[in-house]
Chains A and B, each alone.
Chain A
Amino acid sequence: MAGNGTNAVRRRLKRCRWLWPVMAGAVVAWPGWVGSEPPEPPPFSPRSGYEFARPETRAIQDDEFANPGLFWIERGAELWTVSVGDGERSCHSCHGAATAMAGVAATYPKIDEVTGRLVNLEQRINLCRTRHMDVQPYLPESDPLLSLSTYVTRQSAGEPLRVRIDGPARAWFERGRELYRERVGQMNVACTQCHDQRVGHRLRAERISQGQINGFPAYLLRWGTVSSAHRRFQFCNEQARAEPLPIGSDDYNALQLYVAWRGTGLLVEAPAVRR
């Protein structure tokens, strides 16, 4: 705990340094978002995918011993304290106990103050590696990255989703909403057609949920692994025979922001289990 105070001060100073470009960015972005309409609320009150899941699936999620997502949390907890790079730094050496991350995951994706761009939790973890630990970023969807993001998300379990869509995030939000409504693929369908307009209907054996991401990263039974929200977006795209976008792409981040906003107030589930 001793180093925490100085670290906090250093962080705050750093943040001030970055405030200038951020403020400049805000001024540039000003006419774009200040005048625009507040987004219309989602067409219904949000409901977690948990409510749509089969009883067997829910039972696995509810059982703290059977839930396979806990392995990712265990590995994440180990990685939290592993020192790497020339500076011999770990997540713990900057942030202290992981409980310091309480509530954080519920606010992602979020604008990175350094670049002014939207990043999701996995990317934020990789930014810590490249900026503060002098090591390579983890590969997208790799086991250590998902372990850490699941572990950090675990610290927000039970907290309501609350992403910000004002300021520089607004343009990303608008892009995400556009993507959510864009018909793609050989099937020529948009997210909204299934997850707003056909909720509760069956596609083969699957009951269509609202497509919420309060459970992501989630353990997917079909793949036997934890999966990021972006990987799930890819799967829905592939099912519609649409080219998936890259994991970590700006467009999927924008879509993730919109989908997270649609789920505002849903409680974070970590580790969630889905089919």
Chain B
Amino acid sequence: MRMVLAVWLPAVVTLAAAAPSTAGSDPIAIYQIVGDAIPAPLDDLDGDPARGRAIVAGRKGNCLACHQAPIPEEPFHGNLGPPLDGIGSRASAGALRLRLVAPRTLNPDTVMPAFHQVEGLRRVLAPHRGSPILTAQEIEDVIAYLVTLR
């Protein structure tokens, strides 16, 4: 089943003078879902695979909590989700982007977190409120790493 869904998240237009703390930037990139992918890189950013690997391996992405990945220096990999080995040959960059940004559009019951979302969440722990788990740049870095897993 292929469907075309356009998701436009409202850009927060902030006047620097009115809200200096947010520095006038929306933490969430505007993106468009086409079929089962988000084809365009978030904010047209280039990803860096080395940074992406560090995010996947470390606490930032915490992907290894749920996924096996070819990152042998980290001892414990979870198995709530499918292994990420070879994911680059199974999924396109756009498909990976949708799975990271809005996994519930594919499976409403998934435990995979939406890594680039701030709306529609309940009781978010104070230090994390209002910020996504990963920035647009970090999402692109993770994708740049994942596509190398062939």
Write the residues of chain A forming the contact surface with B, with a CB cutoff of 8 angstroms.
182-189, 193-194, 197-198, 201-205, 208, 237-238, 241-243
B80 near A201: Cβ-Cβ < 8 Å = yes
A-B pairs with beta carbons under 8 A, tally: 62
Chain A residues closer than 8 Å to B109, beta-carbon distance: 193, 197
Main secondary structure of the interface of A (DSSP, over half): loop
Q: Give chain B residues whose Cβ lies under 8 Å from the Cβ of A197.
A: 109, 111
Closest residue of chain A to B68, judged by CB?
A: A202
Contact B124 A183 (CB under 8 A): no
Asked, given contacts A189-B111, A193-B109, A198-B111, whether A243 binds B79 with beta carbons under 8 Å apart, the answer is no
Interface stretch of the complex, out of B6-14, B41-49, B125-133:
B125-133
The 9 closest A-B pairs by CB, nearest first: A205-B76, A243-B123, A241-B125, A184-B123, A204-B76, A202-B78, A187-B113, A242-B123, A186-B128
Contacts of B64 in A (CB 8 A): 204
Q: Which residues of B contact A185 (CB under 8 A)?
A: 121-125
A184–B121 CA distance with the chains assembled, in angstroms: 7
Cβ-based interface call for B77 (8 A): yes
Q: Which residue of B lies closest to A200 (CB)?
A: B79
Out of A186, A203, A237, A242, name the residue touching B66 (CB < 8 Å). Answer: A203
- Secondary structure call for the B interface: loop
Contact B111 A194 (CB under 8 A): yes
**Which residues of the partner chain B approach A183 to less than 8 Å between Cβ atoms?**
122
The answer to whether B113 and A243 have CB atoms under 8 Å apart is no
B65 touches A188 (CB 8 A): no
User: Do the beta carbons of A186 and B80 come within 8 Å of each other?
Assistant: no
* B126:A243 contact, CB within 8 angstroms: yes
Q: Taking the nearest CB of chain B, how far is it from the CB of A163, in angstroms?
A: 26
- Bound Cα distance from A242 to B126, whole angstroms: 8
A241 touches B128 (CB 8 A): yes
CA distance A185 to B114 in the complex (A): 11
Given A242-B123, A243-B125: A188 and B114 within 8 A (CB)? yes
Interchain CB contact under 8 A, A186 and B113: yes
Q: B65 — which chain A residues lie within 8 A by C-beta?
A: 203-204
Give complex CA distance A22, B121 in Å. Answer: 38
Flag if A201 contacts B78 (CB, 8 Å): yes
In the complex, are the beta carbons of A182 and B80 less than 8 A apart?
A: no
Kindly provide the distance from the CB of A206 to the nearest chain B CB, expressed in whole angstroms: 8
Contact: B79 with A186, CB < 8 Å?
no
**Is A186 touching B125 in the complex (CB atoms < 8 A)?**
yes
Q: Which residues from chain B contact A182 at a C-beta distance below 8 Å?
A: 122
- Assess the A186–B111 pair: CB atoms within 8 A: no
Q: Contacts A202-B77, A203-B65 given; 4 further ones with Cβ under 8 A?
A: A185-B124, A193-B109, A202-B76, A204-B76
19 A-B contact pairs sorted by A residue (CB < 8 Å): A184-B122, A185-B123, A185-B125, A186-B125, A186-B133, A188-B113, A189-B111, A194-B111, A197-B109, A202-B78, A203-B65, A203-B80, A204-B64, A204-B76, A242-B124, A243-B123, A243-B124, A243-B125, A243-B126
Task: Report the Cα distance A238→B65, complex, angstroms.
Answer: 15
Cα distance, A129 to B128, chains bound together (Å): 39
Closest chain-B Cβ to A185's Cβ sits at a distance in Å of 6
Identify the closest chain A residue to B74 (Cβ).
Answer: A204
List residues of B (50-96) whose CB comes within 8 Å of A's CBs. 64-66, 75-80
Return chain A residues, CB-CB under 8 Å to B126. Answer: 243
Is A202 in contact with B123, judged by CB distance below 8 angstroms?
Answer: no
